[in-house]
Structure 1
Amino acid sequence: MSDDGLRIGIATDATGWHTGRLRRALRERGASARCFDLADCRIDTTSGPHGIVLPGFGQTLPDAVFVRGIAGGTFEQVTLRLGILHALRELGVPVYNDARAIERSVDKSMTSFLLHRHGVPTPATWAAESAAFAQRVLMREAAAGRRVVIKPLFGSQGKGLRRLGANPGRGARAGTLTPLPPLGGDYRRVAYLQRYVEGAKPGFDWRVLVIGGRALAAMRRVGGRRWIHNFAQGASCEPAELDDALAQSAIAAARALGLDYAGVDLIPNPDDAARPLVLEVNGVAAWRGLQSVTPFDIAGALADDLLSRRMGLPALPGNAAAIAALR
């Protein structure tokens, strides 16, 4: 640790509500926090003893780094930014979540593979560079009366999602086939397809927050843009009971990807109510919507887990007691 007190770096490409909450929570726990953009960091083997430079830390290193956001960019730019996080871990700096876990969660195909490998219920998924293969999947699913969703391999907040297959119901579009779109643009020449699970109306999904291997809060996201229930797409947030089925599925998903904290998106499983389906796992999860329906301070819970579980320091009693009272 540094001589002038505990210093935490917050890696983010945009400061605002989330970083403000984190900085306040860390300050209340005796730590100072400084935001920096991974795009402004560099590897420099001539500078200082460590070989990397982080803005605001001079020739020293932070005592830990909380990853709040990584800006998009070229493959090379993102590789370098993740390389900085890998380097920090090699230097013994706790990184929350670390680069390997983020790489697993940001790649939807790897997320699906790991969920399947660890026995976490998730819809059937296909990922390939072949448009011909994707078309065969679409036709086979349509012949069985099912639809699929195509998603960008990298993406969030419900952007780029399209529902494909036979249109159900009545009207002019009933029975027509929504075809596979060209794989350029958002899809970057990759088809990531997930079986669409027909649900009750109005539709909803769950977002469960997992911190340090514990499911701490849940909400239902209702409505939004058509069938996409992201908060960023206009869905409303409602408190949800965090029952054992939701909690255990979310915990298993976060564990499968090796995440310190995660926002896990789930939907009801029409075949087994006791095993909800995990759609996605967010390793750089926002929590503003969830905080609006959660009684305890989420930023405080994140700070407690970083400081106590990852760094071996005592947690602040107040927030820990509030969380314990919910379980």
Structure 2
Amino acid sequence: MLRLAMTTDAETFERVRGPLGERGIAVEHVRAKERSLCVSGDEDDGEFGGFDVGFVYPSRLMEGAVVDERLSVPWVNGRESVLTSRNKAGVLAALDAVGVPTPRTVMVSNPVDEATVIDAVSSFSYPVVVKPNSATRGVGVAAAHDLDSLLGIVDYLNLVHDYRATGDRSYLIQEFLPDARDYRAMVVDGAYAGAVRRELPADAIESGRWKHNVHRSAEAAAVDLPERAYDLAERAADALGIDYLGVDLLEAGDRLVVTETNARPTIDAATKYEPDFYDRLAGLIRRTAER
């Protein structure tokens, strides 16, 4: 049986163990963070030995380098895939270059003066979305409804970025798409593999909330996307060269755009994906192991 190392023990780990086990792939957890890791010496590497393939490179890149060396296996999504997807501005630029529609976006690289921010947003209509370039799960994303509120958000970012340990000091200013429907499409080995619509409860929307992140209490329900939607998801994965990818789409009126991608996507219940989802995922894992 093939041994697959997975560095998360959250939802995805529990959901994939059974289906992949039925397909001859043993899924085992390798703890990559919030622990001590031996980086040199002759200590027994029993917990890291005997694996054939890794699923997705660890989210913490520093620890990941050690775990990667200890495991010494190919990854379905390696370090470069994770870094590529994490850079929101880089993703949008790459997709725009090949004609994949994206929201109108400007990247601001701190530190900049107030005049630069005012100039960057001068051609936008309010409200606008402000988001850190490399955060996940909707962390730090805010809507600015006028110039004063925008500059207030920027003041906060400047305060955070003043700490020298902050790695990525860039952020995005992006057009706001009102009443947009929020989808996460999955692409496995270059092909669309199913999608969910993420939606906040009605009372949350009525109270003014608008970020449909599952980690912020939104529900994810299976949805049949039109052909143009899964075509965009496949084109996005192809443009980025990432085999296993979550692609976030917003639909507002006649517009359908790719907003972000995730090379570490959470896998939902199998009923929310195409019937052959796990067959294709197992095939991708096996081919990766054979590299």
Q: Deviations over 1:231-288 (max 9, x none)?
A: 1112222332222211121112222222221111011266x64xx2111100100123
Q: Partners of 2:264 and 2:27 in 1: how far apart?
A: 18
1:35 aligns with 2:29: yes
1:181 maps onto 2:166 in alignment:
no
Q: What is the root-mean-square deviation of aligned Cα atoms in Å? A: 3.3
d(CA) in 1 for partners of 2:120, 2:16: 47
1:205-284 residue pairs with structure 2 within 5 A? 205-223=182-200, 226-268=209-251, 273=255, 276-284=256-264
Match of 1:56 in 2: 47
Q: Distance in 1 between matches of 2:46 and 2:95?
A: 36
SS at match of 1:156: coil
% identical equivalent positions:
24
Where in structure 2 are the equivalents of 1:116-155 lying within 5 Å? 116-123=96-103, 124-132=105-113, 136-138=116-118, 141=121, 144-155=124-135
SS in 2 for 1:250: helix
Q: 1:279 to 1:43 in 2, by over 3 A?
A: same
Q: When the two structures are aligned, how many residues end up with a matched partner?
A: 275
Query: Which residue in the other structure is 1:196 paired with?
Result: 175
Question: In the alignment, residue 3 of structure 2 is paired with which amino acid?
Answer: R
Superposed displacement of residue 139, structure 1: 5.3
Which residue of structure 1 aligns with residue 288 of structure 2? 310
Mind listing any 5+ residue stretches in structure 1 that lack a counterpart? 72-77, 168-175, 313-327
**Counterpart-to-counterpart distance in 2, 1:19 and 1:62:** 16
- Residue by residue over 1:203-243, the C-alpha shift from the partner in whole angstroms, topping out at 9 and shown as x without a partner, is 42111001110011012212366111111112222332222
Letter in 2 for 1:158: G
- Report deviation, 1:47: 4.5
Tell me the TM-score normalized by structure 2. Answer: 0.79
Identify the residue that residue 114 of structure 1 maps to in structure 2: 94
Match of 1:10 in 2: 6
- Report the secondary structure of 1:23's partner residue: helix
Is the Cα contact below 8 Å between 2:127 and 2:146 reproduced in 1? yes
Kept in 2, the 8 Å contact 1:115–1:122? The answer is yes
Between 1:124-133 and 1:180-189, the stretch displaced more is 180-189
TM-score normalised by structure 1 residue count: 0.71
In structure 1, how many angstroms separate the alpha carbons of the residues matched to 2:29 and 2:45?
10
Provide the rounded CA distance (Å) in 1 between the counterparts of 2:38 and 2:99.
39
The DSSP-based 3-state class of the residue aligned with 1:121 is: coil
Structure 1 residues 54 and 136, CA, compared in 2 at 3 Å: closer, same or farther?
farther
